[in-house]
Amino acid sequence: MTTSVSMNTSREELEDREQVSLTEKVVHIRRVSKVVKGGRHFGFNALVVVGDGQGRVGAGLGKGEEVPDAIRKGGAVARKNLIQVGMKGTTIPQAVVAKFGAANVILKPASPGTGIIAGGGVRAVVELAGVKDILTKSLGSPNPINVVYATVKAMGMLKDPEKELAKRKGPSSTLKSAVEARS
């Protein structure tokens, strides 16, 4: 029994270390109300994005009676939904388009020094993922929840070119050997 307890403790310590390095950003807070017999009952939604600035990012929507509760719950959901983003230097490896609900997001790689050309929810996700140079465009719905989820979906679609080539051609192939073979 003691070994399983020590294993769980080490797992919890690892999770705590991971969560310490994550940065949290509140993208949108919304007050919602429900009309009941005695008047209106208010609640809050908070859209939170978390990331480590090194290729991991996640988003979550928290709901609560008070704003701090909603933010805390949103952060917990975002930590559970972390994804790894494929990066190429300070930008993304290829252009990608993603749709979530009625929101469309286009992400394009940019040359070094361009910076982050993005607005609102897209900027929050891209910054916390650690991308420094990117061109983006949000089309369709301006709803921040759908825009953030579409951006996270797009970031999850990014693939590392060398890993993809190795997966397709076998473990001995790399991008450099493929380029050398052509010349």
The residue written with tokens 């010349």 in the block is 183
Q: Which two tokens stand for residue 124?
A: 């929050």
pLDDT confidence tier of residue 174, bands split at 50, 70 and 90:
low
The arrangement of strands across the sheet holding 116-117 comes to 96-100, 103-109, 134-140, 116-117
How many residues are recorded in the chain?
Answer: 183
**What value does the mean pLDDT take over residues 110-121?**
93
**What value does the mean pLDDT take over residues 110-118?**
94
pLDDT confidence tier of residue 163, bands split at 50, 70 and 90:
confident
**What value does the mean pLDDT take over residues 111-117?**
94
**What value does the mean pLDDT take over residues 66-80?**
96
pLDDT top residue among 159 and 99: 99
Closest C-alpha to 127, from 59, 62, 69: 59
Report if pTM > 0.85.
Answer: no
**What value does the mean pLDDT take over residues 128-154?**
96
